[in-house]
Amino acid sequence: MTGLDERTKANMDVVLDEACRALPHGGDHAIRKKVAQRLMQSARRGNTSLGGLALVAHTAFIEITRNRKSA
Q: Look up the domain containing 53 and give its range.
A: 6-70
For residue 25, count CB atoms less than 10 angstroms from its CB and return exposed for 0-12, middle for 13-18, buried for 19 or more.
exposed
**1, pLDDT greater than 60:** no
Question: What pLDDT shows up at residue 59?
Answer: 95
In a domain, 55, yes or no: yes
In a domain, 15, yes or no: yes
pLDDT exceeds 80 at position 4? yes
Tell whether 1 is covered by a domain. Answer: no
Total domains in the fold of the chain: 1
What is the C-alpha to C-alpha distance for residues 48 and 34, in angstroms, rounded to an integer? 18
Residue 71: pLDDT band with limits 50, 70, 90 = low
Please name the residue ranges forming H helices in 1-71.
6-20, 29-44, 50-70
**Reported confidence tier of residue 36, pLDDT bands at 50, 70, 90:** very high
